[in-house]
Amino acid sequence: MRPRVQPKDPSPETQAKMQERAQRLTKRQYVRFAFYKVDPMWRRLPAEEQAAHKQELLDVIESFNRRMLLRPYSLIGTRADAELLLWQIAESPLPFRELASAIACTRMGSYLNMAHSYLSQTKRSIYEIRTAGAADEDEEERLVIDPTEAKYLFVYPFIKTREWYQLSQYARQGMMDEHIDVGRKYPSVRLNTTYSFGIDDYEFIVAFETDEPSDFLDLVQELRETSVSMYTLQDTPLFTCINMRLDEALDALGGPAIAKVLEPGAQDEIWMEVCPLDELGPGETKTVFLEGKMVGLFNVNGELFAINNRCTHARGPLTEGEVSAEACSVVCPWHYGKFDLRTGAAIDGVVNKPVDTYQVEVRDGLIYVGTTITYS
C-alpha cells in the first residue's frame, strides 16, 4: 500500500471560493440507470410479433426523447444478468416513472424484466477536485451529465465504509488527491459521478465513458493501490455497456431486424416539436433534448435561435445566461464566456470553442427544432 498522503489545509481564500461556488452551482440533474433483461419466452414468439413488439417499444421510448436525455446501450455479450441499459438524465425524477410505466404498457414490456435500477443525482463534490496544472472547471462539469459518443460505458454502484466518513475532511481530501491524480493519468476515460445517498440503496453511481476498455481496466487496477481504496465497502456489480442506436440495441435482443440500414456517412434530418410559439415569448428561453443533446432555444425580439445549451468551457447552462438582443449573444452564467446566438461562435471570455447550432422552424404556430445527423 502506498503511504498516506499528507492532508492539505485549504487556505481561507480557497474556502471562500468553494463556498461561493457551492451557492452558485445548486442545480442538479436526476439520473437513472435502468437495466433490462428479456424473458426467454419472448424469443420463442413468431418473428412478425417480435418485430411488431420492438417497433412499438422503440416508438414509445423515442417519444420521451424530448423530456429527458436518453442513451441506449447494449449488454448482450458482456453481462449475463442484463441486456439493455437506458441511461436517463432529467431535471426531475418524474419522467423516469412515466417512461417506466409506458414501457410496462407495451407488448414487449410484459417480457422485459428490470434486472437492475439505480437512481442518483449530480452534485457538487465536497472535495476540491483541482490538482496542480488542472482546470478548476472540472468540478463544475460534474454537475452536468453530457454523454459523449464514446463506444463503451462502465457503470457500477459504490459504497464507502463508515470509517471513511469518520475521518476529517482534510484527511479525506489528501487521499482523494492521490485518487484524482491516478485518474488524470487516463485522459481517455471520462468519469461521471452521481450521488444516491438517501434516494437509493447506494452512495454513488459512477459511469465511465471511453473508447478504450483497456485504459479503464488499467485505471481500476491502479486505483486499487491508492489509500482511499481501503475504504471501499462495495463497488459491484459492474456493467460493461456498448453504445448503439436504440433500434440496433433492440435488434441485439433477438428477432428480425427493425434497425434502419445506414451506410457510413448517410445523413438524416431529425425534427422535434417543442411547443406552441406563444409559449416562448420575446426574451424567453427554453430547453429541449434532441438526439442526446440539451438544446437551448432563445427568442430574441421575435427571432428564434437554437444552440447546444452546454457551454463548451465547462458545460454551463447557456439558457440561464444573460442575453443581449443588440449583439444577439448570450453570456454563460458560470464564467462569463460569450457566444453568438446566430453562429454559435465563441466571441469573448474564457471560451474558445463554438457551440453547435440547430435549425428552428415555426409550422402552424408550433416551434420545431432540427438537426442533421451523419451516421458513422
Would you say 272 or 350 has its CB closer to ligand FES?
Answer: 350
One-letter amino acid of 347: I
Would you say 157 or 317 has its CB closer to ligand FES?
Answer: 317
Q: Is 275 helix (H, G, I), strand (E, B) or coil?
A: strand
- Using the rule CB under 6 A, which residue among 72, 88, 112, 137 binds ligand FES? 137
Interaction with ligand FES in 86-125: which residues (CB under 6 A)? none
Would you say 227 or 287 has its CB closer to ligand FES?
Answer: 287
User: What is the rounded distance in angstroms from the CA atom of residue 253 to the CA atom of residue 108?
Assistant: 11
Interaction with ligand FES in 342-361: which residues (CB under 6 A)? 350-351
Q: Give me the phi and psi of 250, to 5 degrees please.
A: -70, -40
Only segment of 155-163, 220-228, 267-275, 330-338 that touches ligand FES (CB under 6 A): 330-338
Q: Where are the beta strands (DSSP E) in the chain?
A: 30-38, 69-74, 84-90, 112-121, 152-160, 190-195, 204-210, 232-234, 239-243, 267-276, 285-290, 293-300, 303-308, 322-324, 329-331, 338-340, 346-348, 357-363, 366-374
- Using the rule CB under 6 A, which residue among 250, 334, 358, 369 binds ligand FES? 334
Would you say 223 or 350 has its CB closer to ligand FES?
Answer: 350
Total binding residues for ligand FES by CB under 6 A? 11
Would you say 180 or 318 has its CB closer to ligand FES?
Answer: 318
- Is position 209 an interface residue for ligand FES (rule: CB under 6 A)? no
Count CB atoms within 10 A of the CB of residue 17. 14
Would you say 336 or 368 has its CB closer to ligand FES?
Answer: 336
Residue ranges of alpha helices (H) inside the chain are 12-24, 47-62, 94-104, 138-141, 162-166, 169-184, 213-223, 246-251
- Is position 316 an interface residue for ligand FES (rule: CB under 6 A)? yes
Q: Phi-psi region for residue 302, left (φ > 0), alpha (ψ -120 to 50) or beta?
A: left
- Using the rule CB under 6 A, which residue among 90, 300, 311, 346 binds ligand FES? 311
- Using the rule CB under 6 A, which residue among 38, 58, 252, 332 binds ligand FES? 332
Q: Among 176, 232, 229, which Cα is nearest to 204's? A: 232
- Is position 339 an interface residue for ligand FES (rule: CB under 6 A)? no
C-alpha cell at 184: 488524470
Count CB atoms within 10 A of the CB of residue 278. 8
- Is position 143 an interface residue for ligand FES (rule: CB under 6 A)? no
User: What is the rounded distance in angstroms from the CA atom of residue 113 to the CA atom of residue 38?
Assistant: 6
Would you say 250 or 311 has its CB closer to ligand FES?
Answer: 311
In the complex, minimum distance from the CB of residue 129 to ligand FES, in angstroms, rounded to a whole number: 15
- Using the rule CB under 6 A, which residue among 102, 131, 335, 354 binds ligand FES? 335
- Using the rule CB under 6 A, which residue among 296, 298, 313, 357 binds ligand FES? 313
Interaction with ligand FES in 180-199: which residues (CB under 6 A)? none
Give the C-alpha distances (Å, rounded to integers) separating 370 from 17, 27, 274, 357.
40, 27, 10, 10
- Contacts with ligand FES by CB under 6 A lie at 137, 311, 313-314, 316, 332, 334-335, 337, 350-351
